[in-house]
């Protein structure tokens, strides 16, 4: 893949208690994680982890994942094909994954309410969809910084993030070897990969924002499109007139891309080249079917700055750009905040839908308070669940390291799990078809003291089992009718089973003697 020696090691093999299965759909193999239960039943779950969790797959990171066959490059974008009434192979694949009719996939894409980020040059990825009519998705940000990490570590994080359920990853590398890191990630990623091309463009001008130009930026975008990046964050909504609106903010501009463009605009006293060259950008992205993720360069970075004039002025501009992109046949999603107190969250979704024609909303959290650095996966999972319930289609995770440092492997997993919780909680609240099956299966296993099934149905079987092992490691404890929380005499579920037996006995008595009603009974 390159002449720099890189030798990553990643986690492979099935998730505990599960096996990879495929459903054959029109010659395609659509993957699921099948959880085998001890009562002989099984449950099939949406599976983002690619071949890495397939016990039969041979993984060769130096070669990359095998490309899926049948990628069509010359008939335009998924949006254009959906508008033409076509159900693409990607749409059929997605319909099978999501358990919905292929027509609804096509219709949502045609309306611009859903996107399928699938660059023609990234055939290694399994097709997936982002839109509010589908399961809420989770993105995991990875990538090095000038201070820390390596290509090997980033490939490991990518595989690790998708193992635990990341639906897409973004490579936000800003340190060394940006091109090469991305190449390793793209060739080995089973999920779509997003980037912020500005970061690499800035590296090309040695980190001085004022030296950026449309030419450097355009060339970087083309380079990344050729490599196979599936969606790109473009902060084209940061306009000169918005910048003064940030002056009285507590935390100014907290988007890296936003602050870079603001610095450029002020230095050149001109409107951003992303804005002035937006249509050329559309033409480039359309050639590869790269999806726009219109960045919120002026998102609030603190509770104090939420829903302010700067944020909503930019959102209005993103609405204009959405129309332009769609007119060029380019798929679009819209990025959202950030830091927002709970009572101001829903307004973000309503306004985005109104201004941006219901293009999929893709939010970073939001964090519901600023006061818990080291726990921002939790502060933001609260906001994320609420905003997803209101209609956000994809949630960008926040890890415990947010505001403090670059996330490591453990942080990545903690972030992904917290966001799978938020996404699933929203699916339940939206009544997403089939979402509750997993809750019901797990709770039934819990009630029936099928501990192994409870672990294996959970988001993280390893940790659930490990926690149980801490106090009751012996094998018989995995079928015992209690745990160490309440002990044997105080287990409500065991007592409930006694209660049910007592009621069944009463019921038999009633039918056998046919004489008196025993319920309800008034206080004696």
Residues 50-79 that bind its own copies (CB under 8 A): none
First-to-final CA distance of the chain: 82
Within 367-491, where are the H helices?
Answer: 376-389, 409-429, 435-447, 451-456, 461-471
Q: Is there binding between residue 215 and its own copies (CB under 8 A)?
A: no
Is 22 a binding residue for its own copies by CB under 8 A? The answer is no
Site for its own copies in 73-132 (CB under 8 A): none
Consult the annotation and say whether 335 binds a ligand.
yes
Q: Which strand (E) or helix (H) includes residue 181?
A: helix 178-188
Going from the C-alpha of 267 to that of each of 251, 261, 413, the distances in angstroms are 21, 10, 40
Cα–Cα distance, 233 to 210 (Å, whole number) = 20
Segment near its own copies (CB under 8 A); pick from 73-81, 83-91, 185-193, 418-426: 418-426
- The answer to whether the beta carbons of residues 49 and 126 sit under 8 Å apart is no
178-188 and 151-163 are packed helices; what angle lies between their axes, rounded to 10 degrees?
A: 30
Cα–Cα distance list, 138 to 5, 392, 396, 506 (Å): 32, 11, 6, 50
Query: Does the footprint of its own copies cover residue 240 (CB under 8 A)?
Result: yes
| Residue among 110 and 422 whose Cβ is closer to its own copies | 422
Q: CA 336, CA 364: separation in Å to the nearest integer?
A: 6
DSSP state of 407: -
Residue 39 CB coordination number (10 Å): 11
Judged by CB under 8 A, does residue 521 bind its own copies?
yes
Cβ 415 to its own copies, closest distance in Å? 11
Quick check: 418 binds its own copies (CB under 8 A)?
yes
Q: Say whether 215 counts as a known binding-site residue.
A: no
- Cα distance between residue 194 and residue 125, in whole Å: 12
Q: How far is the CB of 15 from its own copies (least distance, A)?
A: 13
- Residue 268 phi, psi (nearest 5): -95, -10
CB of 377 to its own copies, least distance (A): 8
Residue 266 near its own copies by CB under 8 A: yes
Part of the chain binding its own copies (CB under 8 A), chosen from 61-69, 73-81, 96-104, 405-413: 405-413
**Using an 8 Å Cβ cutoff, are 262 and 253 in contact?**
yes
Q: Contacting its own copies (CB under 8 A), which of 5, 269, 476, 514?
A: 269
Residue 457 found at the interface with its own copies (CB under 8 A):
yes
- Does position 276 interact with its own copies (CB under 8 A)? The reply is yes
Q: Least distance to its own copies from the beta carbon of 515, Å?
A: 14
Go through 22-37 and write b for each residue having 16 or more CB atoms within 10 A of its CB, e for each that does not. eeeeeebebbbbbbeb
Binding segment for its own copies (CB under 8 A), chosen from 107-115, 211-219, 285-293, 468-476, is 468-476
Integer Cα distance of 184 and 194 in angstroms = 14
The span of 47-55, 112-120, 121-129, 399-407 binding its own copies (CB under 8 A) equals 399-407
Judged by CB under 8 A, the number of residues near its own copies is 131
Give backbone dihedrals phi and psi of 356, rounded to 5 degrees, phi first. Answer: -115, 25
Among the listed residues 420, 450, 452, 478, the single contact to its own copies using CB under 8 A: 420
Using CB under 8 A, which of 13, 66, 207, 433 touches its own copies?
A: 207
Give residues 324-383 in contact with its own copies (rule: CB under 8 A): 339, 341-343, 368-375, 377-379, 381-382
The pattern of x and - marking residues 146 through 175 that bind its own copies according to CB under 8 A reads xxx-------------------------xx
The reply on whether position 428 binds its own copies by CB under 8 A is yes
Q: Does 205 bind its own copies (CB under 8 A)?
A: no
Contact by Cβ (8 Å): 188, 158 = yes
Distance of CA 5 to the CA centre of its chain: 31
Do the Cβ atoms of 317 and 237 come closer than 8 Å? yes
Q: Is 141 annotated as a binding residue?
A: yes
With residue 256 as reference, give the H or E element that holds it.
helix 256-268
**23 vs 506 by CB, closer to its own copies:** 506
Applying CB under 8 A, the span of 65-73, 93-101, 224-232, 493-501 interacting with its own copies comes to 493-501
Nearer of residues 57 and 429 to its own copies, judged by Cβ: 429
Smallest separation, CB 247 to its own copies (Å): 6
Cα→Cα distances 199→178, 179, 206, 256, Å: 9, 11, 11, 9
Is 307 labelled as part of a ligand binding site? no
**Residue ranges at the known binding site:** 141, 170, 199, 235, 255-257, 296-299, 335, 339, 362, 403, 483, 486, 491
């Amino acid at each position: 893949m390159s002449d720099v020696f890189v030798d990553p090691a990643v986690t492979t093999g099935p998730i505990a208690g599960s096996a990879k299965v495929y459903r054959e759909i029109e010659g395609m193999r659509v993957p699921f994680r099948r959880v085998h239960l001890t009562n002989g039943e099984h449950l099939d779950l949406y599976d983002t982890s690619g071949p890495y969790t397939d016990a039969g797959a041979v993984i060769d990171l130096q070669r990359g994942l095998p490309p899926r066959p049948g990628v069509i490059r010359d008939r335009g974008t998924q949006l254009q094909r959906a508008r033409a009434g076509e159900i693409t192979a990607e749409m059929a694949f997605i319909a099978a994954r999501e358990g919905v009719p292929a027509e609804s996939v096509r219709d949502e894409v045609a309306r611009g309410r859903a996107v399928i980020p699938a660059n023609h040059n990234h055939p290694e990825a399994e097709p997936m969809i982002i839109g509010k009519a589908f399961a809420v998705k989770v993105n995991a940000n990875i990538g090095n910084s000038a201070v820390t990490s390596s290509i090997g570590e980033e490939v490991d994080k990518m595989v690790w993030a998708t193992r635990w359920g990341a639906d897409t990853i973004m490579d936000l590398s800003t340190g060394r070897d940006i091109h090469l890191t991305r190449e390793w990630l793209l060739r080995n990623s089973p999920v779509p990969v997003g980037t912020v091309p500005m970061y690499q463009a800035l590296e090309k001008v040695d980190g001085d924002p004022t030296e950026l130009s449309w030419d450097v930026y355009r060339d970087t975008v083309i380079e990344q499109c050729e490599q196979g990046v599936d969606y790109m964050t473009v902060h084209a909504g940061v306009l000169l007139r918005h910048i003064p609106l940030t002056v009285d903010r507590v935390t100014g501009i907290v988007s890296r891309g936003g602050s870079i463009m603001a610095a450029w605009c002020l230095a050149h006293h001109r409107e951003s080249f992303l804005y002035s060259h937006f249509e050329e950008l559309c033409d480039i992205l359309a050639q590869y079917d790269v999806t726009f993720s219109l960045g919120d360069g002026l998102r609030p970075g603190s509770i104090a700055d939420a829903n302010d004039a700067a944020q909503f002025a930019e959102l209005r501009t993103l609405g204009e750009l959405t129309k332009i992109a769609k007119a060029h046949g380019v798929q679009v999603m819209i990025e959202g905040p950030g830091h927002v107190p709970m009572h101001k969250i829903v307004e973000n979704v309503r306004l985005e839908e109104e201004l941006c024609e219901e293009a999929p909303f893709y939010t970073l959290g939001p964090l519901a308070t600023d006061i818990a650095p080291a726990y921002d996966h939790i502060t933001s999972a609260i906001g994320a669940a609420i905003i997803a319930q209101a209609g956000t289609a994809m949630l960008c995770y926040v890890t415990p390291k947010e505001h403090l440092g670059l996330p490591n492997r453990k942080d990545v997993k903690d972030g992904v799990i917290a966001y799978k919780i938020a996404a699933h909680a929203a699916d339940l609240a939206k009544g997403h078809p089939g979402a509750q099956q997993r809750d019901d299966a797990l709770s039934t296993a819990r009630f029936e003291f099928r501990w192994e099934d409870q672990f294996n149905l959970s988001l993280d079987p390893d940790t659930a089992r490990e926690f149980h092992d801490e106090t009751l490691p012996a094998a018989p404890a995995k079928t015992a009718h209690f745990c160490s929380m309440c002990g044997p005499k105080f287990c409500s579920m065991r007592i409930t089973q006694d209660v049910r037996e007592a009621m069944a006995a009463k019921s038999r008595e009633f039918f056998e003697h046919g004489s008196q009603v025993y319920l309800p009974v008034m206080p004696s």
